[in-house]
Amino acid sequence: MLPLKRGGAGLLALLGLHNVQAGELAVGSMAPKFILPDQESNTHALTEYRGRWVVLYFYPKDDTPGCTTEACNFRDDLPALRALNVQILGISLDDAKSHARFAEKYSLPFPLLADAEGDVTRAYGALWSMGPLRVAKRYTFVIDPEGRIARIYRNVKPANHSRELQQDVKELQKGPAGVYKPVS
């Protein structure tokens, strides 16, 4: 019998169930850089958004109930988020064509980035796999205007996440630059 590693990781690996991720990101660390295409085949680099707050949200699949709720709430709250100088960027493992259909169907006015290879999703620790099946976990990262991670959400509830983010970004903008408290 194989020995179980801390947290049962050995058994999970044996069964083909595991999180595929880089080292754990922490509040205050620099956000991993990326360049990815969106639903209109335009490329987006994280460095383009320096000087603005970025809400980078990872989601499992286009046009599924939780992902649709989350995206539509961001759409509906976009004026309030823009007033806070926030750029919304969604990322999943779906391709640009799937993103285009999803964005058109729900009139989503922000970039949905296609990470078909999963490299960016992995760099943010949001890649989950079970054998050949891979999906992005529902994680969100608030990135400050200097490119540092200001807040990490690993337990996202799609129905109220946009409102939660608005409140948290307001609080982050009040505090001293570079000093952030973690969210549980």
End-to-end CA distance of the chain: 35
Residue ranges of E strands in the chain: 17-20, 35-37, 43-45, 53-58, 86-92, 112-114, 127-130, 133-136, 140-143, 149-153
As annotated, the active-site residues are 67
Query: Hey, is 153 helix, strand or coil?
Result: strand
